Chains A and B, each alone.
Chain A
Amino acid sequence: MIKNGVGRWIPKSYTPFVSDDDFKSKKRKQVKKASSGETIFLQSLSEVFNKLNIKDGMTLSFHHHYRNGDHLLNMVAKEIVKRNLKNITLAPSGIFPVHEPIIPLLLNKNVTQIVTNYVSGPVAESISRGDLEKVLIMDTHGGRARAIEAGDLNIDIAFIAASAVDKKGNANGVDGKNPCGPLGYIIPDVLYAKHKVVVTDTIVSSLTTTEINGNDVDYVVTVNAIGDSSGIETGTTQMTRDPVQLKIARDTVRLLKDLDVIQNGFSFQTGAGATSIAVSHYLKDEMEKRQLKGRFVSGGITAKIVELFESSYFAELYDVQSFDLTAVNSYKNNQKHHFMDASLYANPFEPNNIARQLDVVILGAAEVDLDFNVNVTTSSTHQLIGGSGGHSDTAYEAKLTVITTNLFKSRIPFIRQRVQTVSTPGSSVDVVVTERGIAINPKRTDLIEKLKDSQLNIVTIDELYQLVTQITGQPKSISTSDKIIGLIRYRDGTIIDTIREVKK
């Protein structure tokens, strides 16, 4: 094993992570783009499997824009089982509880490898138990785009769920009876996969917008229902009433104020969790008070962000995925609500990527340590619970990265001496906001200087750690098995940490 740039041991055969800006010294690698002929319309997935001669060992990719309402991955899985294919690699950009039916494919070695950006639910538990034969590879959203264009992730067939397709094979995620929003994550697959199959439940005479060009599509298949729109809602879109979350959100906006970040023309991104929605709410109040207008807001889009946008607090909106139907509708109807593909969003080698233009990003954490490293991949009991998504990408690229987190919950501390798993390195993180104090990364002397007269409770990360230990007591560290069941591939292709099997 070799020690990498964040002090983690990784297997010798992989390239170790050096630093979050090491990619600057590397050259962009792009393999040849795939070509397609005329789009052929087929009757069933079975026909596709026959026509493309899908066999053992192939890599099949998918997007996760239907989130927990996805049907396609399970449909393809059924086909794999019917033909008793073996050693398939699945490369969906995200895996959700709805994908539980693929677990038998892991156990029976129909599927022996998975490459993804996010995995939660029963499949995550299954992989944590060691059911996947080969090592799980977890990319970031930007990293997956890079891996595909560089040939690190070699896709044989990309299965693309689309809510509507026209007669020429052009497709999008907004028309039709089951819209899911912009299909940002599958664009690299469309450009580089050997074969592209669009699957839909609605053929129209004309689309309101083209996200995928029919020239890039080999086959189109129509099924009954491509996905369940209601399944894209990740949780509540209502504002939280939890006083702790509200305090964190209020203090976060006060921090942005004290740092003079909230100005005309600024750009902003946050996630879909309860705290993020509350932050957006308080940000709106602040911008309303000072009659400000930001340049753009980006990311995975929720109704709260749409509210900010539609009330003209931001001039443009860049959308890589929709977290609810309000976002989908805004994208459909508003000219300035733009489509953003995964590479344009966060590929480190994309020179003007949107993340790089961000003034501030507000992110969450499952754990933060004394070096400001963040874990969003494993839980306190070493279970796989998610993955970076766009976390590492935006954390590095944005000018100011703020992590919001409880100090502790149900006695479990969120500030640790050392995170279990490094998802995002501390060098990308600038500020940690908890309900009991705000810590600034010591290397950001400029922020420390700017906040010296602030009324906020600014402390060191060590003080936060001492405080939480005082409150909860010192937790015993949970031992893991030695078996590595997953690798966390940083956005530049190097390995930043490993995931261990949970002890039975």
Chain B
Amino acid sequence: MRKSLLFIPANQPGMLQNVDIFQADGIIFDLEDAVHLTEKDAARDLLKSFFNSVELKDVEAIVRIHHLDDIPAIINPRLDTICLPKADLEGLKKLNRALSTYERKYRLSKKIGVIALIETPESILNALAIAKAPRVNGILLGGEDLSTSLHVMRTVEGKEIEFARNMVIYAAKSAEIDAIDTPFTNVEDNKGLETDILHAKALGMNAKACIHPNQIELVNRLFMPSLTEIEFAKKVVIAMENAEKQGLGAFTVDGKMVDQPVITRALQVLKASEGYEDD
């Protein structure tokens, strides 16, 4: 499960050379909004050259394409995921076909995944079908473009995207894929970022896109289960192991009966808290 994804303009070498130190779970190399129309060719060449030379360990390599034509220009064995902007069912179908064609052509060993960036009212309403489409392993909410389509202001409080957030979450969880929240655009406001993350997390988002490296630390930390959740999860697992040893079917933790959903949740929490330094 991803927690943090960082958008990087694909045409900036100064940013590319530091992607391995930002500690994001994935880097979204942006060929779309971050690159001027007249520089799309330069960005593609730079990205291709970068992928040929640099191996990214422990970081998911995602490219937000501008156009399907970007695929042959940047496809390579180190590419993990394509992020499709303004994703809809038709676009995802075409992308799937294109990726299959090029995976075969270049004999790639792994199957490239897709993060669907949904940013229109209709796509929000079709979120479930999008989430279940082939290759899609995450839905990213595009709050800015969505608000524009709704003819409303995008606000810090986020009432205008609450329904969209819920749709993304329900669809993602139905398809058992990542629900990724829209970026918080004020990079100077850490308190605001924290509030936004906690709100999204409480609704059910499990990850958030970042637009500045300085946002990543907070996103990684807050999308981790809390200490209380981890302590409880540990208790559940120990109690479960003890119950198994004694041949008992049901058992209690802190005076409450524990049934399957609680056990499953406890295992999820322990898995999500793996490999992260405690504070």
Contact = CB atoms under 8 A, between A and B. Distances in A.
Interface of A: 241, 243-244, 246-247, 250, 254, 289, 435-436, 455, 471
A281 to B, nearest CB: 12
Contacts of B18: 243-244, 435
Interface residues of B, number: 13
A243 B276 CA distance: 20
A254 B277 contact: yes
Contacts of B21: 243-244, 247, 435-436
A241 B187 CA distance: 10
B17 A471 contact: yes
Contacts of A289: 279
Contacts, number: 23
A471 B50 CA distance: 12
A242 to B, nearest CB: 9
A471 B16 CA distance: 12
B20 A243 contact: no
Contacts of A250: 217
A344 B5 CA distance: 51
A471 B23 CA distance: 19
- Top 5 closest pairs, chain A to chain B, by CB: A243-B213, A455-B277, A435-B21, A247-B21, A243-B214
A246 B212 CA distance: 13
B277 A436 contact: no
Contacts of B279: 289
Nearest to B213: A243
B22 interface: yes
A458 to B, nearest CB: 13
A170 B100 CA distance: 85
A288 to B, nearest CB: 13
Contacts of A244: 18, 21
A291 to B, nearest CB: 15
B251 to A, nearest CB: 33
A241 B277 contact: no
Contacts of A471: 17
A244 B217 CA distance: 13
Contacts of B23: 247
Interface in B212-260: 212-214, 217
Contacts of B276: 455
A397 to B, nearest CB: 31
A241 B23 CA distance: 16
Nearest to B17: A471
A455 B275 CA distance: 8
The residue in A243, A247, A250 that gathers the most chain B C-beta atoms within 10 A of its C-beta is A243
Chain A CB count within 10 A is highest, among B21, B213, B214, B277, for B21
B49 to A, nearest CB: 14
A384 B22 CA distance: 33
A243 B17 contact: no
Given A254-B277, A436-B20, A471-B17, A241 B214 contact: yes
Interface string B1-39: 000000000000000011011110000000000000000
Given A436-B20, A471-B17, A246 B277 contact: no
B22 A243 contact: yes
A294 to B, nearest CB: 20
Given A241-B214, A243-B213, 15 more contacts: A243-B18, A243-B21, A243-B22, A243-B214, A244-B18, A247-B21, A247-B22, A247-B23, A250-B217, A254-B277, A289-B279, A435-B18, A435-B21, A436-B20, A455-B277
A244 B20 CA distance: 11
A247 B23 CA distance: 10
A289 B212 CA distance: 26
Contacts of B212: 243
Interface string B263-278: 0000000000000110
A88 B145 CA distance: 71
Nearest to B14: A410
B210 to A, nearest CB: 11
Nearest to B212: A243
A448 to B, nearest CB: 19
A435 B276 CA distance: 18
Contacts of A254: 277
A289 B279 CA distance: 10
A500 B239 CA distance: 71
B8 to A, nearest CB: 11
Contacts of B277: 254, 455
A254 B217 CA distance: 14
Given A254-B277, A455-B277, A246 B17 contact: no
B230 to A, nearest CB: 16
A223 B213 CA distance: 51
A289 B18 CA distance: 30
Contacts of A435: 18, 21
Contacts of A436: 20-21
A351 to B, nearest CB: 40
A462 to B, nearest CB: 19
Contacts of B217: 250
Contacts of B213: 243
A410 B12 CA distance: 14
Interface string B101-129: 00000000000000000000000000000
A241 B277 CA distance: 23
Nearest to B275: A455
A246 B20 contact: no
B194 to A, nearest CB: 14
A244 B214 CA distance: 10
A250 to B, nearest CB: 7
A412 to B, nearest CB: 13
Nearest to B277: A455
A243 B213 CA distance: 6
A289 B278 CA distance: 13
Nearest to B20: A436
A243 B212 CA distance: 9
A359 to B, nearest CB: 22
Contacts of A455: 276-277
A254 B21 CA distance: 16
Contacts of A247: 21-23
A435 B213 CA distance: 13
A323 to B, nearest CB: 25
B189 to A, nearest CB: 13
